[in-house]
Structure 1
Amino acid sequence: MALQEGYSINSTVDDQDSDTAPLLEKEVEKITVPPKCCSVRCNLAAMMFFGFAVVYGLRVNLSVAMVAMVNGTNDQSSSNSNVSIDCPVPNHTLDNNSQSSEQPEGIPRYSWDSETQGMLLGAFFFGYLFTQIPGGYLSGRFGGSLFLGGGVLGTAVLTLLTPLSAQLGAKWLFALRALEGFGEGVTFPAMMAMWARWAPPLERARLMTFSGAGSNFGAFVALPLTGFICHSLGWPAVFYSCGAAGCLWAVFWFILVSDEPRTHPRISDREKHYIINSIGSQGMPHGWSVPVLSMLFSVPLWAIIISQMCSNWSYYTLLTSLPTYMDTVLHFDLQQNSFLSALPYLAGWLFSVGSGVLADNLLERKLLSVTAVRKIFTFIGLFLPAVFLLAVGFTGCSGVLAVTFLTLSSALGGFSAAGVYINQIDIAPRYRTKTVWLVYLSQLVTLLKFALYSCSLHQFLGQPRRLLYPSPFGISYGFLNFLIKLNV
C-alpha cells in the first residue's frame, strides 16, 4: 500500500511493512537520539506525572475525609439493621478511633447514613463518564493540552467549594462531586492524544508509564496526607490544600506545555526532528478515511477494550472502597487507615514505572516483539493481581496478610501499564486517536456500573468482604480475553 501524503505512524520499526514505515531500519540507525535528560518530551512526562498525582489526590480525598466528616456517634443501625461485624474490634482501636476522628473545635460534622455516603462516593463517576468520549474526540482533533489543563483546573476550583457544598447539604455535595468528575473525565483521553504526537515508538512505554504512574503516586501521597490533615487541621483543610495544588499545577502547565513538537517554543531542532521523524505527522491533516466497521469488528481491539474494562473495575474498587474495608473489616483507626490504604499505590507506582523501562529495553534490544511484550506484561499485570486479590477474602481477621496481599496485587498490576494500556496506541498506528476514542467509549459501561455499585455501597456493609469479590474475577476475565484474542 502506498503512503498517502508521505505520512505513516508505527508502533515499532519491526512491526511494519517496508512500504508503510516512515523510517526503514537503516534510516533509524542513522538518526541520533537527542539526550533524554532535560528534554522537552521528558519535561512533558514530568508535568503529566505531577498532573495525574493532583488528579488522583482530588479524586480520593473524599474517601478518607468521609470518616472525619461523618458524626461517628450517629447510630446508623436503623439503616443497617443486618450489619454484622466480621472481626472483633480491639479495645485500643476503639480508643484510637475516638481520638483520631475528633475534629478541631468549630469543624462541622454530618449525620449521613451509609446510603448517603455511598451516593457521595459514587457521584464522581456519574460525571466522569459523560466527558470520556467528547474529551477523547476533541483532544485528538484540537490537541490535548487545553483539555488536560482545563480539566484539572476546573476540578481544583470545584474542590475548593467542597466545604461550602457540604454545609448546604448532601445533594449539593453530590452535584459538586459529579461536576468534578465531569472535569476530570477529559484528562486521560487528553494524555493519550498528546503522547500520540510526542512519544517516539522506542520511548513510548517509559514515557507513558511514567506519566500515568502519577495516578498511583497521587493516591499514595493523598491518602496518608488526607488522614493527617483531617486529624490536625480538620477535614475542610483537605479540600482547600488539594484545590490549591491543582490550581498551582495548572499555571505551570499552561506556561510550559504545547500540543505538539512543531508548536513548542523552546524545543531544540534536533529533538523536534527526532520526534517528528520517529512517529510521522500525526498532528497534520490527512486524507485517510477511518475504517469504522473494521474497527468495530476487530477482535484484537475488543480484546484490549474488555481487558481495560475489567482492570479499571478492580482499580476503581480499591480506590473508593479500600478505606471502607480497612475501617469496617480490619478496624484500623483514621491515621492507620489512610497510611495502610496508601501502600498498594506506592507499590503500583514503582512497578508501573519500572515496567515501562523494562518493556522499552526489551524492544530496543530486539529480544521480544511488541506483541510478545504486551502479552507478557498483560499476563503479569492482570492475572497475578487477581490471584492475590482473591486471597484477601481468605485472610480472616489478619490485617497484616490482607494489606500484604493487597499491596502485592497492586504492585503486579503495575505491569499492565506497559501492556494492554499502551497497546491501544500500538494496534492501529494511523488511527490511534480513533482507537483510543473507541476504548474510552466502551469504558462508559464500566463507569456507569461502578457508579451504581458505589451508590449501593451501604448494601455491602453487612458483609464488607464482598466489596472486593467481583474484582479478581473481572480482571482474570479481561486477561484471558487479551491473551487469547490479541494478534497485533
Structure 2
Amino acid sequence: MKKSKELFSCRDVLWFLVFCGFAINYMLRLNLNLTIVTMVLPYPKPAAVVQCNVENSTLFWTNETSENNNVSSSSSITTPSSENVTYEDRFAWNEYEQGLVLGAYYWLHWLSQLPGGLLARRYGTKLVFGLGNLLVALLGFFVPYASHLYALISLRMLQGLIAGVIWPSMHNMTAKWIPPNERSRFISAYLGSSVGAAITYPLCAAISSFLGWGASFHVTSLLGVLWYCLWQFLVYDSPQQHPRISDDEKNHIMDNIAKSVDEEKTQIPWRSIILSGPLWITIAAYWSSAWGFLTLMTQAPTYFNFVHGWNINATGLLAGAPHVLRMIFSYFFSIMSDWLLRTKRMSLTNVRKLATFVCTGVQGILIMALGFSGCHPLFAVVFMMTSTAVNGAISAAMLTNFVDLSANYASVLLGFANMIITWAGFISPAVVGKLTNNNQSVEQWRLVFLIAAANSIAGGIIYVIFGTSKEQPWNQYDKLKEREMQKLAPETIKTDNGIENTKTDDTEKINFIEER
C-alpha cells in the first residue's frame, strides 16, 4: 500500500523545534537585559533632554505613560517627578555594577563552547542541546530570589556556563540532517534566537509592569520546560534513528550529504584545526559581527531608557522589534543564498563573502550612523532596527561556513570559535559600563557605538579579502591519515604462492604480515 505524502517532513519539524529551541535560549539569556531597567533606581532625566534641549518626542512615551499610570514604580522608569516615588523592590546599582550583571552570563560561557561540540559528537545533539536549555530554564526560576548583587552574578555565570553547549552542539545535527544546498535556509532556524529576543523584551516589559519584575523570569523558564517536552518526543540525532521518517526523505538526505565518518571513533585533527588559516579568518569575521550585534542586543534597552527616556513598555517593544526583522531578513537572505548556489550563479565562497559583507560591513556602517543620531530618536530607532536586521545574513555567512570548511568537525569548529567569540559578550558590557559609569551622555554612547562599528567593519574586510568556503583537507582526517600510512608502509610484492611479502628485512616482513 502506497504511503500518503506527509504534510511536514522530519526536516520541517526539526527546523521548527530548533527554531523554538534557540528562541528559548535567547529568552533565558536576555530576560535580564530588559528587566534590569525595572530592577535599578531610575535617572531623574534622560540624557537627550539635558544635552539636546528636546522636550517633545523623546519624552512622549514616558510622559504619556506616567499620566495614565500615576507614575507607578513598575510601569514608568524616568519621569520628572520620579524623585517623589519610592522604589522598595529596586537596587542601587551603578552603571559599572549593571555591566557586571549583564556581562556575568558570558564570563564562563566560553568554557563550555568546545566541550559542547565534543559532547554532541559523543552523546548526540538531542541530549546536549535539550538538557542545556532545560537546566538553564530551571536555574531561571531562582533568579528573582538572588537579591544580592554577587548572588545574581553567580547564578547568571552558572546559567551561561551551561548554555555554552547549546550553539556548537547543533552544528553536529545540521551536518547529519541537512544537504549542503539546504544548509543556509536550515541554519536560519538558529536565528529563532532573534524571535526569542523579540518576544522576550515586550513580554518581560508587560509582565514586569503588571506582576513585578520577578515574574518575568518565572514565565520564560516555564516556556523552556514546555519546549523541552516537545524536543524529547519529536527530535532524533540522525535520519537513521528517526522512527517516523519516510524512506523517500531518508534516501534524499543520505544521497545528498557526504558520507560522514563515525564521529565517536574518529580522532580530531586538533593541530590542523588550530593552525587553519581559513578557520581563523572565519572567526575574525564572526567576532566582528558578534561584537556589533551583542552591543545592540544587550545595551538597547539601557540606551533608549537612559538617553531617550523611553519607559519600560516602549523600550520593550523598541528593543524587540529589530529581532523580528533580523529573523525575516535571515530567512529570505538564506533562501536567496541557496538559490544562488543551486543555479550556480555564484560560487560557494562568493556567496559566503556576500553574506559576510552584509552582516559585518553594512552592519558596521549602520551602527556608526546610530552613534551619530544621539539627539534624534527617530533616526536612532531606524538605524538600530536596520543594523540589527542585516545581522541576519550571518545564517548564510560564518555560521554556515563552519560546516562548509568541515562537515565532519562542524560542532568542534563552532565550539572552538564560540569559545573565543563569547569574550565579546562580556567585554562589550564592561566597556559600556566603564564609558557610561555616572556619565549617561550622548557623547559616551556615541563612543560605545563607534567601537562596535569599528569591530564590525574590520573583521568583514578581512574575510572578504582572504576568506574561503572550500572543504579543508583535514575534514577527511581518517582517510588522509590512511593515505599517509600507506605511503609510509613498506612496498609489498606477491610471491608465487599468493602470500604478500615486503622488500624489507625479515623482522619487518614478519611484523607486516602479522598486521595484515
Residue identity opposite 1:311 in structure 2: S
Runs of 4+ displaced beyond 6 Å: 104-107
Tell me the CA shift for residue 246 of structure 1: 0.5
1:61-210 aligned at under 5 Å gives the runs 61-72=31-42, 85-88=50-53, 90=55, 95-96=63-64, 99=69, 102-103=73-74, 108-166=89-147, 169-209=148-188
Asked whether the equivalents of residues 125 and 450 of structure 1 are also in contact (C-alpha less than 8 Å), the reply is no
Aligned counterpart for 1:441 among listed residues 410, 419, 438: 419
List gaps (5 residues or longer) in structure 2: 76-85, 471-516
Deviations 1:385-419 (A, max 9, x none): 11111011222411110110111112222122212
Deviations 1:163-197 (A, max 9, x none): 1112xx12111111111111211111111111111
In 1, the alpha carbon distance for the partners of 2:146 and 2:296 equals 26
In 1, the alpha carbon distance for the partners of 2:425 and 2:132 equals 18
1:58-457 aligned at under 5 Å gives the runs 58-72=28-42, 85-88=50-53, 90=55, 95-96=63-64, 99=69, 102-103=73-74, 108-166=89-147, 169-209=148-188, 211-282=189-260, 284-285=262-263, 290-447=268-425, 449-450=427-428, 452-453=430-431, 456=434
1:284–1:363 distance in 2 versus 1, CA, 3 Å: same
Query: What TM-score, normalized to structure 1?
Result: 0.84
Tell me the CA shift for residue 351 of structure 1: 0.3
Asked whether the equivalents of residues 110 and 420 of structure 2 are also in contact (C-alpha less than 8 Å), the reply is no
Tell me the CA shift for residue 325 of structure 1: 0.9
In 1, the alpha carbon distance for the partners of 2:110 and 2:49 equals 34
Deviations 1:435-454 (A, max 9, x none): 33432333254345346436
In 1, the alpha carbon distance for the partners of 2:412 and 2:38 equals 43
Residue identity opposite 1:206 in structure 2: R
1:62–1:306 distance in 2 versus 1, CA, 3 Å: same
Which is further off, 448-457 or 270-279?
448-457
Residue identity opposite 1:123 in structure 2: A
Deviations 1:331-354 (A, max 9, x none): 212111111112221211110111
Larger radius of gyration: 2
Tell me the CA shift for residue 149 of structure 1: 0.7
1:379–1:125 distance in 2 versus 1, CA, 3 Å: same
Asked whether the equivalents of residues 390 and 472 of structure 1 are also in contact (C-alpha less than 8 Å), the reply is yes
Query: Which residue number corresponds to residue 11 of structure 1?
Result: none
List gaps (5 residues or longer) in structure 1: 1-33, 77-81
1:275–1:92 distance in 2 versus 1, CA, 3 Å: closer
Which is further off, 453-462 or 306-315?
453-462
**Is 1:54 the equivalent of 2:24?**
yes
In 1, the alpha carbon distance for the partners of 2:7 and 2:345 equals 25
Which is further off, 52-61 or 268-277?
268-277
Count residues with an aligned counterpart: 446
In 1, the alpha carbon distance for the partners of 2:60 and 2:397 equals 44
1:287–1:238 distance in 2 versus 1, CA, 3 Å: closer
1:243–1:429 distance in 2 versus 1, CA, 3 Å: closer
Q: What is the SS of the residue equivalent to 2:345?
A: coil
Asked whether the equivalents of residues 229 and 235 of structure 1 are also in contact (C-alpha less than 8 Å), the reply is yes
In 2, the alpha carbon distance for the partners of 1:452 and 1:309 equals 17
Tell me the CA shift for residue 83 of structure 1: 12
1:107–1:229 distance in 2 versus 1, CA, 3 Å: farther
**Is 1:474 the equivalent of 2:472?**
no
Deviations 1:88-113 (A, max 9, x none): 46365654575466239998333323
Which is further off, 282-291 or 175-184?
282-291
Tell me the CA shift for residue 235 of structure 1: 1.0
In 1, the alpha carbon distance for the partners of 2:5 and 2:269 equals 38
Residue identity opposite 2:208 in structure 1: C
Query: Which residue number corresponds to residue 464 of structure 2?
Result: 483
Asked whether the equivalents of residues 436 and 445 of structure 2 are also in contact (C-alpha less than 8 Å), the reply is no
Residue identity opposite 2:140 in structure 1: T
Asked whether the equivalents of residues 304 and 420 of structure 1 are also in contact (C-alpha less than 8 Å), the reply is yes
Tell me the CA shift for residue 72 of structure 1: 3.1
Asked whether the equivalents of residues 325 and 465 of structure 1 are also in contact (C-alpha less than 8 Å), the reply is no
In 1, the alpha carbon distance for the partners of 2:122 and 2:196 equals 29
**Is 1:461 the equivalent of 2:440?**
yes
1:285–1:375 distance in 2 versus 1, CA, 3 Å: closer
Alignment RMSD (CA, Å): 2.7
Deviations 1:225-249 (A, max 9, x none): 2111111221111111101000110
Query: Which residue number corresponds to residue 3 of structure 1?
Result: none
Deviations 1:113-153 (A, max 9, x none): 33322211111111322211211221123211111111111
Query: Which residue number corresponds to residue 486 of structure 2?
Result: none
Which is further off, 225-234 or 456-465?
456-465
In 1, the alpha carbon distance for the partners of 2:265 and 2:37 equals 55
In 1, the alpha carbon distance for the partners of 2:311 and 2:276 equals 49
1:353–1:126 distance in 2 versus 1, CA, 3 Å: same
In 2, the alpha carbon distance for the partners of 1:35 and 1:350 equals 28
Residue identity opposite 2:467 in structure 1: L
Tell me the CA shift for residue 303 of structure 1: 1.0
1:187–1:119 distance in 2 versus 1, CA, 3 Å: same
Aligned residues: percent identity? 31
Tell me the CA shift for residue 289 of structure 1: 5.2
Residue identity opposite 1:56 in structure 2: Y
In 1, the alpha carbon distance for the partners of 2:454 and 2:174 equals 31
In 1, the alpha carbon distance for the partners of 2:38 and 2:204 equals 10
